[in-house]
Amino acid sequence: MKYAAAWARIACEVLETPYPYGASHASHGPDDVDVTPQRLHPAFHGSYDWHSSAHMQWSLVRLLTLAPDQVGRRPADLLDERLTPEAIATEAAYLRDRPSYERPYGWAWAAMLAAAGKDSWPLQPLADTIADLVLGWLPRQAYPVRHGVHLNTAFALALLLEAYGDLARTDVVEAIRERAIEWFGQDTAYDTRFEPSGTDFLSPALTEAELMRRVLKEDEYKTWLTAFLPGLGTDQHQHLLKVAVTDDSGDGQLAHLSGLALARAWQLRTIAPALPDVVDTLRAGADRQVAAVLPTVTEGGFMSTHWLVSFALLATLAE
């Protein structure tokens, strides 16, 4: 794998960077104000925040699987240090005590980590806790969140579906599938003129399309996608194939736009086979997105490098 060594190196570096760290901790009282990252989150500290720590550790697990000879021992040693039974028990208890914490984005990435690392680390308590939270949350969520940042519902459901499919939790998979079809199954003629928003790292349109690819049969999906994004790959929606203006100045919100390019590339590559007449156009658009931001994945500032490897992996694995 071409970039495995460099991606593993930067993932380890950011995970071993304790500060800055955004705890997002809601204190329950005056005795609950210690937000020291390693104490509060013994597994998911470093890499700026809880969800980035979780998905950069997922990146290391995937890189160890895909290219063990290239990444060396450092990733495995780091994961062994973080993903102990005691640390995972603490993280699971924290989520149970704060059932909306990191919902749904962090849940999705932690579940992906649990699925990818299930044979090597004691992650089942974390997976089970998130499964319970998902099953409790889905019936209460009246409407999906459709914007292009962390609370986007379709993105989380796509990853949760993959993770719990790998974990053989058919109850969670079916609950997600039913909710996805209920929320998105009748969507047509999605208006993409206002994408991207200023701090997006997801395309709301392509993210929804990627989720529905996972829940519909092949023929159903082609019909749905044609109705949802009519003209994708021709004259309509061309801006989805162009690289947005990116920023690596150290502003964490503006850095999201580099992730948008990688997320678009991932999603364009996965949905392209459903549109054979424009498959080459969609893949070329994906290639442009990756090429534009690839250097930033490892050579950018910390507000870019602390998370972009994961999205680069999604894009690369979709090739």
**Are 86 and 43 in a shared domain?**
yes
Write out the residue range of the structural domain in which residue 275 sits.
Answer: 191-319
Cα→Cα distances 9→18, 70, 128, 132, 248, Å: 16, 10, 30, 34, 20
Q: Does any domain span residue 27?
A: no
**Are 221 and 156 in a shared domain?**
no
Domain end: 136, 151, 184, which one?
Answer: 184
Across residues 65-90, what is the average pLDDT?
98
Q: Does any domain span residue 32?
A: no
**Residue 1 confidence (pLDDT) above 90:** no
Domain end: 167, 184, 201, which one?
Answer: 184
Q: Does any domain span residue 26?
A: no
**Are 150 and 226 in a shared domain?**
no
Q: Does any domain span residue 68?
A: yes
CB 210 within 8 A of CB 158: yes
**Are 149 and 268 in a shared domain?**
no
**Are 151 and 287 in a shared domain?**
no
Query: Could you tell me if residue 102 is left (phi over 0), alpha (psi between -120 and 50 degrees) or otherwise beta?
Result: left
Q: Does any domain span residue 29?
A: no
Domain end: 169, 184, 199, which one?
Answer: 184
Q: Does any domain span residue 246?
A: yes
Phi first, then psi: give them for residue 63, nearest 5 degrees: -65, -35
**Are 180 and 197 in a shared domain?**
no
Q: Does any domain span residue 225?
A: yes
**Residue 235 confidence (pLDDT) above 90:** no
CA angle centred on 94, ends 88 and 98, rounded to 5°: 145
**Are 103 and 14 in a shared domain?**
yes
**Are 162 and 47 in a shared domain?**
yes
Q: Which residue has the tokens 């210690």?
A: 34
**Are 167 and 205 in a shared domain?**
no
**Are 131 and 232 in a shared domain?**
no
Confidence band for 319, pLDDT divided at 50, 70 and 90: confident
Q: Does any domain span residue 84?
A: yes
**Residue 104 confidence (pLDDT) above 90:** yes
Indicate the number of domains in the chain: 2
Confidence band for 77, pLDDT divided at 50, 70 and 90: very high
Across residues 24-31, what is the average pLDDT?
96
CB 78 within 8 A of CB 60: yes
Confidence band for 236, pLDDT divided at 50, 70 and 90: confident
**Are 235 and 164 in a shared domain?**
no
pLDDT in tens, 105-145: 999 999 999 999 999 999 999 999 999 999 999 999 999 99
**Are 264 and 282 in a shared domain?**
yes
